[in-house]
Amino acid sequence: MAEPRYGEERKQMGSIVGDRPKISVIMGVYNGADRVDEAIASIRVQTFTDWEFIICDDASTDNTWEKLVEWSKIDSRIVPIRNEKNMKLAATLNKCLEHASGSYIARMDDDDYSYPWRLMAQNDFLDVNTYYAFVSGQVNGLTKEFGIIEDYWHRKEFPEKKDFLKGSQFIHPATMFRKGPLMKAGGYRIAPETRRMEDYDLFMRLYAMGYIGCNLQRPMLRYTVDFDKTTYAHRIDEVKVRYQGFKALGLLPWGFIYVIRPLIVGLIPHDTLMEIKLEDNGVDLRKYRRRHRRRRK
């Protein structure tokens, strides 16, 4: 028997009373046919159900688009859109924003998995705490080396401007924004240096505008970790993003040493760097090494 369609009742009510989904989940996908199903499924099982899921296929060359269309037939809350040519993530997310009708904008990546309580927890926080422009949370990291690592890269609950010297203080795909501040910031900045830094750039720009965010002290999603994706060219891009962001935040000149930090860090081998970061975050790698060895036997 065919799976029932979801969202039709809400859409029919919307045509009568002008209702719109409370939350717009946005996601860009490029050649993600082999991984997008789990990401979509994780949003469909959320305890909070008043959402739309806008997914932009960034001119994939596999069957990603066909998969998205099939999902939209199963669940009408899923809205696939498509780029005619590959535009990269920042431009793709901006296109999603153009189609978003929710008051809150939740991010999602095609290789991550949102836990069922995520949208409800973040929606409730923003409803009550009107002082905050966005909310993120903790994540569990999925690594090739150690499997799942609980509380991966723990984030401070209430970051301040100076904390951005150390790096981005919010995990992008675990974040939900109020649409107003996000649009006032101009969405995601499209520039060569923001190719993999669009989130860090955005968070610093929001803080420079006087907005602030909070990290819930509970895991919001399972985050796929791949240190191998970061090249030295990306480190150079990060230097540029840091310089512009720190300047806007009033962290220069005294914070200049942190501007060039990515260049120094980029000289460290990936595996060693990952272990340093995890141990600095209080992760007992011995436990995960033992567990990983047992699984491989």
| pLDDT 10s digits, 119-174 | 999 999 999 999 999 999 999 988 777 778 887 778 999 999 999 999 999 999 99
Residue 289 confidence (pLDDT) above 90:
no
Would you state the pLDDT for residue 214?
99
Residue 278 lies in a domain: no
Residue 265 lies in a domain: no
Q: Which of 103-107, 123-127, 231-235 has the lowest mean pLDDT?
A: 231-235
Residue 241 confidence (pLDDT) above 80:
yes
Residue 141 lies in a domain: yes
Indicate yes or no: pTM above 0.85.
yes
Residue 80 confidence (pLDDT) above 90:
yes
Residue 294 lies in a domain: no
Would you state the pLDDT for residue 293?
60
Would you state the pLDDT for residue 129?
98
Residue 181 confidence (pLDDT) above 90:
yes
Q: How many domains does the chain have?
A: 1
Residue 270 confidence (pLDDT) above 60:
yes
> To 10 degrees, the CA torsion angle through 55, 196, 32, 154?
-90
Domain range enclosing 209: 8-229
Would you state the pLDDT for residue 53?
99
Mean pLDDT, rounded, of the chain: 89
Residue 259 lies in a domain: no
Residue 240 lies in a domain: no
Instruction: Report the 10 Å Cβ neighbour count for 279.
Output: 11
Residue 157 lies in a domain: yes
Residue 243 lies in a domain: no
Would you state the pLDDT for residue 276?
74
Q: Which of 27-31, 145-149, 215-219, 234-238 has the lowest mean pLDDT?
A: 145-149
Please report which confidence band the pLDDT of residue 227 belongs to, taking 50, 70 and 90 as the band edges. low
Would you state the pLDDT for residue 9?
39
Residue 22 confidence (pLDDT) above 70:
yes
CATH number of the CATH domain containing 146: 3.90.550.10
Would you state the pLDDT for residue 148?
84
Would you state the pLDDT for residue 282?
67
